[in-house]
């Protein structure tokens, strides 16, 4: 999962310069709006059913029950997709709102269809703990997208070719995952035996998914509405650079629920607290210096990955977005507690409060202060999300937070930042060199400050020996 998170971040950084440098900031704004629309509609039209399969089919042994569950979900989601994409396809305001030609709306409709169906297949693999297969298909689609986008843009097919590349990658993945799923469970006509139970579990997750989308991506929509797609083209690259910090959250988000649930159900609360303490500590150990580094190098990184014009207009977005991902990571760790005690409705309420805060502030501030207001609002909303989640989670299960380590990490990050400022690198080679030197310098400082306990260092050494490092 860590590899997947890194590859997804790499995809963004590879495609970013291809579109911005060749097609321009405004086309990148349209590209961003399309991706945001896919991320918005897909979780809604799937009706919360993919994750429902993980909950209900993971322990199921009866192959007939499994077949009926999978094909019932697929049929229902396919029907919901057809209704949604038909409305989108014939909707002229959609192309006006997204700032793109009508032809792209047709392609977008098909992307949403296959994205939604593919989610079902991926969650089938997850339900049966076929994580290697899950990872393969995610990575396969990612690299296929990158390759096709590069080819399409290089051959002068423009933005239309780049968007069609997204469709082709999803179609290819759909074919391969269909074959794999049929080989695993066979084919059956759906009888919808437990679909009412599935929907009662899945539908309540839609508001939480929608709230997460509002927090994470709705600002692109509002910027496009108030300021136009060019402003989105200035904002989105800075957001992409700052959002790279998110790759440290993915593995924790995916792995912690299973690990914590096992110990919690066995009443091994001290183990749960240990997992939470060190998850937070190691997450902050990496994220805090990353925020400092990205903030200082924001303009230089945007020049490397996009254009001078975008860098001048969007570099201040990076620090706010990077800090937002830190708050989201804190939320992700603390939210595990409410999941363990089965208070997911409370977690949903927290997300809804943060989402309403985000939308309200964006509507008020974006027309007056532009894209920087959107970046600030994103940061503030994620701060609200993390603060409320910490408050309610800590009332259920308190665990130790290593504040002493956090102070040491902040001091080491400040000293590391001084080094970066002194060198003030320019160009990709010098920037990469100073990044490597800064990372090494930061961790040396943490060791000098005794930020890690001896048993932690010994464990790290033993892991390195076992893995051949």
390-420: per-residue pLDDT in tens? 999 989 998 999 999 999 999 999 999 999 9
Residue at 458 is within a domain: no
With bands split at pLDDT 50, 70 and 90, how would you rate the model's confidence at 376? very high
User: What percent of the chain shows pLDDT beyond 70?
Assistant: 92
* pLDDT mean over 12-24: 87
What pLDDT was estimated at residue 298? Answer: 94
- Per-residue pLDDT at 256 exceeds 60: yes
Confidence of residue 64 (pLDDT cuts 50, 70, 90): confident
Kindly report the number of other CB atoms within 10 A of residue 270's CB atom: 10
Short-list 113, 138, 120, CA closest to 53? 120
Let me know: does 364 contact 380? Beta carbons within 8 Å: no
Cβ atoms 352, 207 nearer than 8 A: yes
Q: 421: burial class by Cβ within 10 Å (0-12, 13-18, 19+)?
A: exposed
Q: What is the pTM of this model?
A: 0.79
Classify residue 380: in a domain, yes or no. no
**What token pair was written down for 136?**
């393969």
pLDDT score for 215? 81
The pLDDT score that the predictor gives to residue 258 is: 64
Cβ contact 91:147 at 8 Å: no
Tell which wins on pLDDT, 464 or 261: 261
Per-residue pLDDT band for 380 (boundaries 50, 70, 90) equals very high
Mean local confidence (pLDDT), 273-284: 90
Residue 467 pLDDT > 50:
no
Q: Would you say residue 104 has pLDDT above 90?
A: no
Nearest to 314 by CA among 377, 378, 242: 242
Distance from CA of residue 68 to its chain's centroid? 31
Find the length of the chain.
Answer: 469
Long-range contacts from 313-317, C-beta under 8 angstroms, 24+ separation: 313/234, 313/371, 314/234, 314/235, 314/237, 314/238, 314/371, 315/238, 316/238, 316/372, 316/375, 317/235, 317/238, 317/239, 317/242, 317/371, 317/372, 317/374, 317/375
Q: Which residue has the higher pLDDT, 257 or 22?
A: 22
With bands split at pLDDT 50, 70 and 90, how would you rate the model's confidence at 463? very low
Predicted pLDDT of residue 53: 78
3-state helix/strand/coil string of the chain: CHHHHHHHHHHHHHHHHHHHHHHCHHHHHHHHHHHHHHHHHHHHHCCCHHHHHHHHHCCCCCHHHHHHHHHHHHHHHHHHHHHHHHHHHCCHHHHHHHCCCHHHHHHHHHHHHHHHHHHHHHHHHHHCCCHHHHHHHHHHHHHHHHHHHHHHHHCCCHHHHHHHHHHHHHHHHHHHHHHHHHHHHCCCCCCCCCHHHHHHHHCCHHHHHHHHHHHHHHHHHHHHHHHCHHHHHHHHHHHHHHHHHHHHCHHHHHHHHHHHHHHHHCCCHHHHHHHHHHHHHHHHHHHHHHHHHHHHCHHHHHHHHCCHHHHHHHCCHHHHHHHHHHHHHHHHHHHHHHHHCCCHHHHHHHHHHHHHHHHHHHHHHHHHHCHHHHHHHHHHHHHHHHHHHHHHHHHHCCCCCCHHHHHHHHHHHHHHHHHHHHHCCCCHHHHHHHHHHHHHHHHHHHHHCCCCCHHHHHHHHHHHHHCCC
Evaluate if residue 1 carries a pLDDT over 70. Answer: no
115/173 Cα distance (integer angstroms): 10
Give the pLDDT of residue 311.
92
Mean pLDDT taken over the chain: 86
The reported pLDDT for the residue numbered 469 is 43
460 pLDDT above the threshold of 70: no
Indicate the pLDDT class of residue 326, thresholds 50, 70 and 90: very high
What does the pLDDT average to over 288-299?
95
- The least confident of 109-113, 185-189, 294-298 is 185-189
Distance CA 343, CA 7 (A): 33
- Banded model confidence at residue 216, pLDDT cuts 50, 70, 90: confident
Positive or negative torsion for Cα 80, 83, 85, 87: negative
What pLDDT, in 10s, does the model give residues 351-361? 889 999 999 99
Does any domain span residue 160? yes
Q: Is residue 25 part of a domain?
A: yes
65-103 pLDDT, tens per residue?
888 888 898 999 999 888 888 887 776 677 777 777 777
The structure tokens listed for 423 are 């060198």
Q: Is residue 118 part of a domain?
A: yes
Between the alpha carbon of residue 105 and those of residues 46, 78, 91, the distances in Å are 20, 19, 9
Residue 189's domain comprises: 1-203
| Helices 298-305 & 229-242 angle (0-180, nearest 10) | 120
With respect to residue 69, please indicate whether it lies within any of the assigned structural domains: yes
Domain count, the chain: 1
Q: How far is CA 117 from the centre of its chain?
A: 19
- Closest among 353, 405, 357, 351 to 377, alpha carbons compared: 357
Check residues 200 and 26 and name the one with the higher pLDDT: 26
What's the pLDDT tens digit per position in 132-178? 888 899 999 999 999 999 999 999 999 999 999 999 999 999 999 99
């Amino acid at each position: 999962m860590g590899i997947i998170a890194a590859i997804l971040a790499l995809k963004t950084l590879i495609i970013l310069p291809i579109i911005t440098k060749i097609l321009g900031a405004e086309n990148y704004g349209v590209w961003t709006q399309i991706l945001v629309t896919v991320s918005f509609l897909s979780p809604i039209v799937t009706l919360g059913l993919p994750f429902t399969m993980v909950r209900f089919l993971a322990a199921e042994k009866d192959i007939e029950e499994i077949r009926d569950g999978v094909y019932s979900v697929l049929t229902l989601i396919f029907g919901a997709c057809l209704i949604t994409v038909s409305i989108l396809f014939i909707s002229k305001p959609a192309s006006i709102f997204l700032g793109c030609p009508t032809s792209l709306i047709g392609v977008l409709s098909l992307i949403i269809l296959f994205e939604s169906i593919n989610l079902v297949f991926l969650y089938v693999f997850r339900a049966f703990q076929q994580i290697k297969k899950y990872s393969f298909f995610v990575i396969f689609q990612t690299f296929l997208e990158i390759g096709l986008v590069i080819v399409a843009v290089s051959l002068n097919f423009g933005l239309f070719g780049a968007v069609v590349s997204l469709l082709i990658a999803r179609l290819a993945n759909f074919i391969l995952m269909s074959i794999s799923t049929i080989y695993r469970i066979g084919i059956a006509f759906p009888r919808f035996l437990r679909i009412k139970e599935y929907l009662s579990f899945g539908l309540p997750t839609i508001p939480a998914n929608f709230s997460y989308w509002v927090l994470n991506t709705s600002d692109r929509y509002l910027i496009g509405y108030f300021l136009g797609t060019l402003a989105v083209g200035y904002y989105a690259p800075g957001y992409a650079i700052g959002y790279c910090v998110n790759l440290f959250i993915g593995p924790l988000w995916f792995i912690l629920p299973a690990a914590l649930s096992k110990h919690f159900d066995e009443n091994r609360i001290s183990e749960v607290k240990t997992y939470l303490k060190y998850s937070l500590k190691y997450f902050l150990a990496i994220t805090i210096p990353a925020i400092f580094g990205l903030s200082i190098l924001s303009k230089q990184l945007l020049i490397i990955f996009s254009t001078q014009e975008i860098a001048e207009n969007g570099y201040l977005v990076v620090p706010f977005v990077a800090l937002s991902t830190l708050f989201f990571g804190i939320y992700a760790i603390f939210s595990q507690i409410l999941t363990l005690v089965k208070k997911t409705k409370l977690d949903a309420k927290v997300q809804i409060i943060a989402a309403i805060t985000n939308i309200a502030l964006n509507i008020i501030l974006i027309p007056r202060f532009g894209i920087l207001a959107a970046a600030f609002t994103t940061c503030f909303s994620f701060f609200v999300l993390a603060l409320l989640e910490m408050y309610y989670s800590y009332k259920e299960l308190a665990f130790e937070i290593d504040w002493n380590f956090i102070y040491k990490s902040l001091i080491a990050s400040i000293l590391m930042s001084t080094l970066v400022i002194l060198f003030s690198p320019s160009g990709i080679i010098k920037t990469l060199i100073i990044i490597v030197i800064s990372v090494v310098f930061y961790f040396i400082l943490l060791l000098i400050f005794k930020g890690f306990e001896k048993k932690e260092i010994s464990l790290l050494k033993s892991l390195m020996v076992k893995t051949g490092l």
